């Protein structure tokens, strides 16, 4: 039985550590393609057995979270929002801290301090205690265990001191309250910052939340875009957003497709042209026939692709995940060891020993490790998407590190696929205007892409007009025609051997009028792209099914030294394999014949106007046909990987340095709680720099 994707909405995740505990649970259950995002409150996984779903939901709720029906998602209650919990706790914690600075006698009263601390401790028990208990019960202790034990130890120690009337040296109510308040503040920062890292997907989702003008029997009704059915006729006016994918059945318009391609210059659209949901009509009015709606629309597929991409972990993250998974038990042992050694070996006393142990637990947050990779990946994927580059997975970013070779297909990749006349060689007795007129008259009667390109190009040049009586296409050969004076013409592949670059010959009454060299034009940024790759130490390679002479000419123009011409799909596969053995290899292509090579390369890159099979085979899709996107993709990937490594270094270094300092007694628990929250902010802030960082 084929595996199916299951999507659940889970509330109650207040930090990345919560998401990690659900992730570990699902992996323990043997589920595949697990994605848990605490920012979007989504849990996804694949399973072939749908009958296990009720038990999975029960297990997730056993961890202290709540699985809700997407259709009936209730707004988070006021008292359950982490921001409101922080504000509530801060109000009571502030006077507790002030007693250390102000001489007001009543603030030093143990009962007053207990009354101020108790509401904060209750919030801490409900927020961290429930999660800590559930994680311990399921054998997966999380960070909340450390926070709860640390704050509870300080509170219970102070409570005993108050009941026994042992004096001010036994009162650490401010420590218990401050730990809880500062960790809640860290949760607030984390939630808000991670929301920013996922903004690219959320911005795209906003494009789906629009209305559509449906035309029925001449009248127009306004409906939600999600209610549009395939086959509906929709009216899209100037300034409106195109609600779904469709074909234009009437009207003309200029569309801003920046949302899809990253290109801000409006694109002219007319009858029969395709439009994409989410693009905006800047000028004009059109009627469209809805073709792709709901989950089949381009926008929905892009959103789904980006969500899946965030789930695919780069190998560099596995180290962080492994450390984080054993971190809490190790820290508890270190804290216990700190208490025992300080108490028995140094005669520091119960109070000092306990404070040192609490400081170790509070400062040892593994959240920064858990956030290091996903935040950088989300921002990197979002920045790429804004530039019209869709990356199918965070693991792709690491796959392109240290790329040695970039293999290019020719037609439609380095060239536009739009043909033009490179040379016309006239035979004696004929002039150029006459020949242009004959070519235009004949090719106007053909539907072939080359014919359309030639007619469009020749309109700009002077020509001698010709009126044809008949014209017919001979498949695989060319066009035969007869003019009103009874002259017979043939325009097509040469009957006699000609130099390789002349691929069309024109005859009148079996006498050759001219030889014509036709080729597709090189894309504007092709030469610049090749130069930039070479500068970066990457070897560009041309792999094409086209004739050797034309491949050599293109390669010489662009500065490509390594050429493989007249390649069949299986030959391209062998070439990719050959380079793959020498080093990291990227394949850029657009045709059906490129699909095997795209799959076989370390990373396959496909153009948006490519065949569907090429898009499915590739791990990167360039929505903008500008070749500069290839360099932008490599640069964003490089800087995302640099950011991940910086984040992991900071997260590991922080814990390696902070834990011994806390264990030796140089750090009190309140400073530890602040430092712990600050470490998350540093990691997330470094990831957010990717949004504006210069990557060239």
Question: Hey, CA dihedral for 536, 539, 545, 547, is it positive or negative?
Answer: positive
Closest of 663, 655, 695, 696 to residue 679, by C-alpha: 655
Instruction: Note whether 93 and 35 are within 8 A (CB).
Output: no
The CATH number of 229-292 is 2.70.150.10
Question: Residue ranges per domain, the chain?
Answer: 4-74, 229-292, 417-522
Residues pairing with 632 in the sheet: none
Q: What share of the chain is helix, strand, coil (3-state, %, to 5)?
A: 55, 20, 25
DSSP state of 127: I
**What global pTM score does this model have?**
0.59
* Structure-block tokens of residue 612: 């569907």
> Which DSSP string corresponds to 283-325?
EEEEEEEEEE-GGGSHHHHHHHHHHHHHHS--HHHHHHHHHHH
Closest of 626, 493, 501, 497 to residue 553, by C-alpha: 501
Catalytic pick among 240, 245, 395, 409: 409
Task: Give the max Cα distance, the chain.
Answer: 121
Q: Which CATH class is domain 417-522?
A: alpha beta
Instruction: Note whether 10 and 65 are within 8 A (CB).
Output: yes
> What residues contact 324, with CB distance under 8 A and at least 6 apart?
17, 20, 366, 369, 370
pLDDT at res. 136: 75
Does domain 4-74 correspond to CATH entry 1.10.3720.10?
no
pLDDT at res. 488: 94
> Which DSSP string corresponds to 93-104?
HHHHHHTTT---
pLDDT at res. 611: 46
pLDDT at res. 556: 92
> Which DSSP string corresponds to 221-274?
EEEEGGG--TT-EEEE-TTPBP-SEEEEEEEEEEEE-HHHHS--S-EEE-TT-E
Shared fold status for 4-74 and 417-522: no
C-alpha distances (whole Å) from 530 to each of 543, 557, 630 are 14, 11, 10
409 catalytic, yes or no? yes
Residues pairing with 267 in the sheet: 255
β pairing state of 511-522 and 504-508: antiparallel
Backbone angles phi, psi at 45, to 5 degrees: -160, 165
Rounded Cα–Cα distance for residues 592 and 570 (Å)? 12
* Structure-block tokens of residue 410: 């020719």
Question: Hey, CA dihedral for 430, 435, 437, 438, is it positive or negative?
Answer: positive
β pairing state of 488-492 and 478-483: antiparallel
Rounded average pLDDT per 10-residue block, the chain, 696 residues: 75 68 81 74 80 84 74 60 87 79 69 89 85 72 74 80 71 78 74 56 67 88 87 90 90 78 68 85 90 79 61 53 66 84 78 78 65 76 81 75 88 78 88 92 78 82 88 78 92 63 86 86 87 92 82 90 83 88 87 70 75 62 80 88 85 78 75 67 82 78
Please name the residue that has the structure tokens 């006459």. 434
* Structure-block tokens of residue 10: 């889970």
Query: What CA dihedral angle connects 593, 597, 609 and 298, to 10 degrees?
Result: 120
Rounded Cα–Cα distance for residues 93 and 547 (Å)? 78
Secondary structure, 3-state, 50-84? HHHHHHHHHHHHHCCCEEECHHHCCCCCHHHCHHH
């Amino acid at each position: 039985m084929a595996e199916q994707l299951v999507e659940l909405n889970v509330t109650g995740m207040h930090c990345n550590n919560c998401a990690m505990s659900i992730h570990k649970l699902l992996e323990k259950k043997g589920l595949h393609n697990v994605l848990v995002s605490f920012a979007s409150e989504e849990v996804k996984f694949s399973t072939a057995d749908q009958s296990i779903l009720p038990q999975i939901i029960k297990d997730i709720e056993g961890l202290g979270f709540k699985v809700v029906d997407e259709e009936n998602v209730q707004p988070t209650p006021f008292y359950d929002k982490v921001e409101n919990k922080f504000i509530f706790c801060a109000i009571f914690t502030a006077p507790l801290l002030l007693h250390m600075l102000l001489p007001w006698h009543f603030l030093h009263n143990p009962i007053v301090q207990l009354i101020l601390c108790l509401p904060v401790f209750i919030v801490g028990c409900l927020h961290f205690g429930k999660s800590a208990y559930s994680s311990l019960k399921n054998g997966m202790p999380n960070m909340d265990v450390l926070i709860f034990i640390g704050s509870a130890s300080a509170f219970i120690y102070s409570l005993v001191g108050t009941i026994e009337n042992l004096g001010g040296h036994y009162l650490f109510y401010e420590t218990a309250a401050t730990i809880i308040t500062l960790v809640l503040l860290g949760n607030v920062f984390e939630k808000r910052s991670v929301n920013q890292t996922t903004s690219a997907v959320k911005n795209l989702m906003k494009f789906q939340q629009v209305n559509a003008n449906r035309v029925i029997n001449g009248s127009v009704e306004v409906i939600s875009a999600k209610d549009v059915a395939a086959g509906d006729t929709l009216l899209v006016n100037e300034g409106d957003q195109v609600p779904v994918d469709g074909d234009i059945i009437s009207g003309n318009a200029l569309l801003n497709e920046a949302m899809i391609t990253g290109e801000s210059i409006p694109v002219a659209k007319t009858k029969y042209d395709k439009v994409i949901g989410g693009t905006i009509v800047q000028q004009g009015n059109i009627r469209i026939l809805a073709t792709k709606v709901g989950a089949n629309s381009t926008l929905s597929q892009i959103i789904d692709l980006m969500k899946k991409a965030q789930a695919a972990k780069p190998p560099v993250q596995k180290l962080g995940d492994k450390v984080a998974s054993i971190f809490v038990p190790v820290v508890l042992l270190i804290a216990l060891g700190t208490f025992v050694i300080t108490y028995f070996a140094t005669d520091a006393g119960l109070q000092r020993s306990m404070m040192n142990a609490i400081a170790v637990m509070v400062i040892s947050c593994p959240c920064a490790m858990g956030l290091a990779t996903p935040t950088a990946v989300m921002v990197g994927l979002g920045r790429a998407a804004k530039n019209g580059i869709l990356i199918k997975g965070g693991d792709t970013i690491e796959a392109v590190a240290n790329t040695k070779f970039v293999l290019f297909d020719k037609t439609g990749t380095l060239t536009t696929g739009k043909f033009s006349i490179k040379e016309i060689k006239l035979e004696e007795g004929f002039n150029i205007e006459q020949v242009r007129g004959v070519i235009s008259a004949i090719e106007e009667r053909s539907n072939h892409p080359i014919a359309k390109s030639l007619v469009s190009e020749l309109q700009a040049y002077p020509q001698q007009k010709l009126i044809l009586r008949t014209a017919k296409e001979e498949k695989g050969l060319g066009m035969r025609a007869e003019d009103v004076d009874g002259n017979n013409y043939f325009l097509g592949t040469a009957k006699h051997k000609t130099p390789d670059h002349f691929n069309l010959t024109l005859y009148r009454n079996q006498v050759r009028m001219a030889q014509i060299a036709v080729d597709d034009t090189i894309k504007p940024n092709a030469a610049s792209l090749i130069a930039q790759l070479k500068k970066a130490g990457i070897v560009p390679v041309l792999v094409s099914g086209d004739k050797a002479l034309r491949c050599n000419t293109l390669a010489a123009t662009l500065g490509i030294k390594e050429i493989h011409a007249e390649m069949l799909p299986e030959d391209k596969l062998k070439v990719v394999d050959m380079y793959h053995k020498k080093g990291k290899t990227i394949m850029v292509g657009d045709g059906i014949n490129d699909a095997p090579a795209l799959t076989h390369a370390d990373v396959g890159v496909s153009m948006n106007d490519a065949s569907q099979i090429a898009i499915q085979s590739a791990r990167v899709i360039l929505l903008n046909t500008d070749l500069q996107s290839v360099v932008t993709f490599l640069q964003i990937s490089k800087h995302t990987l640099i950011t991940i490594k910086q984040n992991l270094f900071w997260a590991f270094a922080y814990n390696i340095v902070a834990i011994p300092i806390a264990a030796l007694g140089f750090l009190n628990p309140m400073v530890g709680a602040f430092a712990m929250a600050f470490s998350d902010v540093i990691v997330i802030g470094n990831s957010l720099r990717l949004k504006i960082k210069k990557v060239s």
